[in-house]
Amino acid sequence: MIARRPLIENLNLAVAYRYTNYDSYDSNTTWKATLTWDVTPQVRFVATSGTSYRAPALFELFLGNQTGFLSQTSIDPCVQWATFADEPARTRCAANGIPGDYNGAGSSATIISGGGAGNLKEEESRSDIFSFVWKPTFADLNLRVDAWQIEVTDQVAQFGAANILGACYYDQSGKANYFCGLFTRDPVTFNILTVEDTFVNINKTQVEGIDLQVFYRKDFSFGDLTIDSKHRWTTFNGTGLFDQAALSSDAGSIGDPIYNSSTQLRFVKKDWTAAWTIRATGPASHVRYFGSDVQPIAAGSNFSFQGLTALKYKMDVETTITHDFSLRYRSDDWTVVGAISNLFNEPPPSVSSGVYFGYLGTHPLASQYDFVGRRATFSITRAF
A 10 A CB-CB count for 384 gives: 3
Which range of 242-246, 275-279, 287-291 scores highest in mean pLDDT? It is: 275-279
Sequential DSSP letters for 176-198 = HHHHHTTEEE-TTT--EEEEE--
- pLDDT for res 297: 72
pLDDT tens figures, 51-86: 998 888 888 988 888 999 988 988 998 988 887 766
Residue 239 to residue 250: CA distance in whole angstroms:
9
Angle formed at CA 203 by CA 197 and CA 205, multiple of 5 degrees:
95
- pLDDT for res 382: 93
Upper half-sphere CA count for residue 313 (Cβ side, 13 Å):
22
pLDDT at 363 over 80: yes
pLDDT tens figures, 149-185: 999 999 898 888 988 998 899 887 778 888 999 999 9
Residue 137 to residue 84: CA distance in whole angstroms:
62
A 10 A CB-CB count for 149 gives: 16
pLDDT tens figures, 93-103: 999 999 988 98
- pLDDT for res 136: 96
pLDDT at 323 over 90: yes
Sequential DSSP letters for 341-369 = ESTT-PPPP---TTSSS-EETTEE--TTS
Q: Which is nearest to 113 in space by CA: 159, 58, 55?
A: 159
Residue 222 to residue 168: CA distance in whole angstroms:
66
Confidence class for position 148, pLDDT limits 50, 70, 90: very high
pLDDT tens figures, 231-262: 999 999 998 877 666 788 899 999 999 999 99
Upper half-sphere CA count for residue 333 (Cβ side, 13 Å):
1
A 10 A CB-CB count for 122 gives: 17
Confidence class for position 308, pLDDT limits 50, 70, 90: confident
Among 5-19, 37-51, 219-233, 298-312, the minimum mean pLDDT is found in: 298-312
Residue 319 to residue 282: CA distance in whole angstroms:
4
Q: Where are the alpha helices (DSSP H) in the chain?
A: 58-62, 72-75, 89-95, 161-170, 176-180
Where are the domains positioned within the chain? 252-384
Among 85-89, 230-234, 304-308, 311-315, the minimum mean pLDDT is found in: 304-308
- pLDDT for res 294: 86
Share of the chain above pLDDT 90, in %: 61
Chain mean position to CA 210: 15
pLDDT tens figures, 180-211: 999 999 999 999 999 999 998 888 899 999 99
Quick check: bond before 88 cis, omega within 30? yes
Angle formed at CA 167 by CA 156 and CA 82, multiple of 5 degrees:
150
pTM (two decimals): 0.83
Q: What is the mean pLDDT of the chain?
A: 90
